[in-house]
Structures are given as structure tokens and as C-alpha cells.
Amino acid sequence: MSLKTLAATAFATLLLSVPGAAFAEAWTYADGSGTTVTVNHVPTRIIASQDAAAGLIPLGIRPVGIYADSAIADAKALEGLDLTGIEIIGEAWGEVSIEKAAALKPDLIVGEWWPLDNTWSGGADVVNALKPLAPITGPKQGASIVTLIEDYEKLAASLGADLAAPEVAADKAAFETARDKFKAAVATKPDLSALAVWAGTDALYVAATEGSSELMDFASWGLKLIDPVIADDRGYWETLSWENIDKYQPDLILVDNRSKITMETAKAQATWTTLRAAAAGQVTDWPAFWLRNYAAYATELDKLSAAIAAADVSIGD
């Protein structure tokens, strides 16, 4: 073997032995804020907001760190997900531990883009803390949870997730079944009207459909949601004094289930039962603002379908 061939062989061996370094494909993603993020390899060490984690984990992408809006036990979006081995680097809105985040050596931060507030999940403080560590990206909050989940599917696939994996496919199939059941339940009760609320000790807050992606989904699948009169120029809620809560009389009341206290508070009010649907027990959960994956969506839709099927439509106005 000549010296020349030896050198050539050595060079070729060298080339083959360094996969994923200089010759790895760069990863790019066009995100919800309208920018395209580029990383020179496929990111594997991801820090995710609680909502992004709830979108990615069921698709097989496990972040190394999560920053939550509240105590992790109270994060409704993460309920039921296996978080073992994932570091929690923030448990209050707008707060994140920079030391913990840096120690995780992230190569990507995934949050959600809030077009109305023009910022990522967690707000400016979190963005400023995390941006120096790795690029921040993610899907956009919009008019549908389904679209949002599909955005997570695209993101997860680009990060190497196998969307055809049996458990992933099963979640999606369960959702599609639940959605069809929901549509069918609504179709058999065309006159049913629903009202989505949050109950405080001070007042009952009635939600506008366009303020929440899942309510817009429900409406697009045929559910008739009562839209409140919003006095404020900003915001998606009508505030009703507990003296005035019978302003609307729906057939079915959806109560925000981010915290179970909301339902207890509603039931503790003397006038709660002046809503005829409340008196008749036609009250169910509203999965308010937290749905990010097919499995959770399927569970919540099944509850709603059952409530719709059981509802007496002559109760409301």
C-alpha cells in the first residue's frame, strides 16, 4: 500500500468517524412569531414552557427542563404526564432560575407565541433570561387547539419524533373518535346553548368564545355558545355581579376547570342555582386554556359529549 493510498484511506476513515459534527444537517424551524430559527444540529437539550412540554412530551420529545406558570402540581396542562428526570426551572409566572437553566446547557427553548401580547410564554423577563442560552421558538396561540397540536406535531417531527409510533397514533385516533362523538352529540341537540364561566367570590365571569382556542373549536364543531356583552375594550370576559348572574340562561354551563376551587366557589354562592342549568345539575368542566395534546383533549371532549347528551334543552332560554 503506497503512502498516498494510506493517507487517502485515513482521511476517509476520519470523515466517517465524525458523524453529526461539521457535516450534520442544520435544523431550521419557521415559528409562530414569524421568524425562522436555525441551529447547526438537531436540538436535543430542550427547555420548554409548561404548555409546550404538554404539547411535546406525548409526541415523544422530552425536554430537559420545564418552566411553569405556577407550582408544578397546579399546572393543569401537565397533569398525568411523566415528568421524571425533567428539571423544573420555574414555578411562577414570569420567573425562571437562570442558574438551573444554564446548567442544563440547552440548545433550544420552546414556548408559545402570544400574538396579542407580542411575546413568548412567561413574558419578557423569562425571554430575556433564556434567550442568551439558546434560540427561543415555538408555535403560535391561535383560533384552534387542534391547529396548535398540529403545530406541535410538525415541531416534534422536525426534532426527530416518530409520529407513527403506536402510542402517538393511538392518542390521535382517540381524539378523532372523541371529536366525532362530540359533533354527533351536538348535532342531535341543535337547540342546546352553552355558557362558559369562571366563578370568583366577587362575581361570575362569562367567557367570550373568541378569547379561547378550545371554545372556538367547540363552536366550529357546532356547539352554540352564548357570547357575553363585553364592556371593556380589552379582555374576553363579562363580569356579572352575583345578583345578576341569571342574565343568561343556558342549557349547559361549562365551568373553568384549571382549578377545582372554581366549581366549589360557584356552588357556594346563594344565587348559583338561579341559573336554571345549575339547579338542574347541567354543569360540566370547561378545559380552559390548557389543552395541548390529543389524549387530554379526547378525555375532556368525552366528558362534554356525555354532558351534552344528558342535557335537557328546555332548561335554558
Residues 268-287 binding another protein (CB under 8 A) are: 268-271, 274
Pick the piece of the chain touching another protein (CB under 8 A) from 45-53, 97-105, 244-252, 302-310. Answer: 244-252
Other Cβ atoms within 10 Å of 219 Cβ, number: 17
Q: Is 103 in the site for another protein (CB under 8 A)?
A: no
Which of 247, 255, 265, 263 minimizes the C-alpha distance to 316?
247
User: Can residue 240 be called a binding residue for another protein (CB under 8 A)?
Assistant: yes
- Residue closer to another protein, measured from CB, 114 or 242: 242
Shortest Cβ 134–another protein spacing (Å): 26
Q: Rule CB under 8 A: is residue 247 a binding residue for another protein?
A: yes
Pairwise CA distance, residues 279 & 266, whole Å: 12
35 binding another protein? (CB under 8 A): no
> Contact 228/244 with Cβ under 8 angstroms?
no
Residue 259, classified by CB atoms within 10 Å of its CB into exposed (0-12), middle (13-18) or buried (19+), is middle
Question: Among the candidate windows 79-87, 111-119, 171-179, 236-244, which touches another protein by CB under 8 A?
Answer: 236-244
Helix runs in 18-77, H state only: 50-56
Residue 243: DSSP 8-state: G
Q: Which of 217, 216, 215, 196 is nearest to 207 (CA)?
A: 196
Among 31, 107, 171, 238, binds another protein (CB under 8 A): 238
By CB under 8 A, tell whether 97 contacts another protein.
no
Q: Is 299 in the site for another protein (CB under 8 A)?
A: no
Distant-in-sequence, close-in-space partners of 271: CB < 8 Å, separation ≥ 6: 242, 243, 245, 246
Instruction: Identify the H or E element spanning 151.
Output: helix 145-158
Instruction: List the helix and strand counts (H, then E) for the chain.
Output: 10, 15
- Residue 265 sits in the site that holds another protein (CB under 8 A): yes
| Grid cell for residue 22 | 461539521
The verdict on 60 binding another protein (CB under 8 A) reads no
Q: How far is the CB of 72 from another protein (least distance, A)?
A: 12
Does residue 51 interact with another protein by CB under 8 A?
A: no
Which amino acid is it at 286? Answer: W
Query: Residue 123 interacts with another protein (CB under 8 A)?
Result: no
In angstroms, the Cα distances linking 313 to 184, 190, 309, 310 are: 16, 9, 10, 9
Q: Of the two residues 269 and 299, which places its CB atom closer to another protein in the complex? A: 269
Among 89, 203, 207, 298, binds another protein (CB under 8 A): 203
Q: Closest approach of Cβ 232 to another protein, in Å?
A: 10
Nearest to 284 by CA among 155, 163, 197: 197
Q: Does 71 bind another protein (CB under 8 A)?
A: yes
Exactly one of 140, 174, 242, 280 binds another protein (CB under 8 A); that residue is 242
Q: Specify the residue, 90 or 135, whose C-beta has the smaller distance to another protein.
A: 90
Residues 108 and 46: beta-carbon distance below 8 Å:
yes
Q: Which is nearer to another protein, 95 or 302 (CB)?
A: 95
List of residues contacting another protein (CB under 8 A): 69-71, 74, 91-93, 95, 200-203, 238-244, 246-247, 259, 261, 264-265, 268-271, 274
